[in-house]
Amino acid sequence: MPHYAVLADHTPDICPGSNAKTRARAMESAGPDGMQKIADDLELSYILEPQHLDPTHRVIAVVDAPSIEAVNQYVFDTGLFQWNTVETFALTPISEMMAKLSDTPVVFDCRGPTAPCARTARTDAWQPSHHAARHPGAEPPEHARRTPADHGP
């Protein structure tokens, strides 16, 4: 049977841990017994039962199901969609995906400094939002203070 991933996230204000209405709805259908009954009714089984990604407001599950429609029905029947943004995905093992690559045409020619992937694959690219989040009040790193002319051709 195919494998699928379910990712769900919500904001703190509608979290079942802080919102009474959401908690009541979650306990009604998304509690341990409710989710398992719904999964059984849809012939869905857990590879990874729903897990909370601490300390976020996110959940992940990996399931075996007859179809993506069954997974989407699970999301609907459990009510997860009512307080979460939910994404469902078909999963492909990396080994299978890599085996398919030889049959896939190459989109970018990555030879030479002007190739599209040479321009986008820089590992020293300055990302101010990431730096500021990790180092509030700190000066940007040296490579971020250089001008484009300093980088050469």
CATH number at residue 40: 3.30.70.1060
The C-alpha atoms of residue 38 and residue 8 are separated, in whole angstroms, by 17
- Whether this prediction's pTM lies above 0.75 is answered by no
CB 37 within 8 A of CB 87: no
Same domain for 117 and 56?
A: no
Any idea which of 24-33, 36-45, 96-105, 142-151 has the lowest mean pLDDT? 142-151
- Whether 151 is in a domain gets the answer no
126 pLDDT band (50/70/90 cuts)?
A: very low
- Which of 43, 33, 35, 91 lies closest to 59 in space, CA to CA? 35
Q: Mean pLDDT score of the chain, rounded to an integer?
A: 83
Same domain for 63 and 26?
A: yes
Q: Where are the beta strands (DSSP E) in the chain?
A: 3-9, 45-52, 58-64, 85-90
The C-alpha atoms of residue 62 and residue 49 are separated, in whole angstroms, by 7
Domains of the chain: total: 2
Task: Give the distance, in angstroms, between the CA of residue 133 and the centroid of all CA atoms in the same chain.
Answer: 20
Q: What does the pLDDT look like over 39-88, one tens digit per residue?
A: 999 999 999 999 999 999 999 999 999 999 999 999 999 999 999 999 99
% of residues, the chain, pLDDT over 70: 71
- The pLDDT assigned to 103 comes to 85
| Lookup: tokens for 146 | 């250089």
Same domain for 128 and 64?
A: no
Any idea which of 41-45, 69-73, 99-103, 133-137 has the lowest mean pLDDT? 133-137
| Lookup: tokens for 12 | 């703190």
Same domain for 34 and 73?
A: yes
Q: State the residue range of the domain holding 27.
A: 3-94
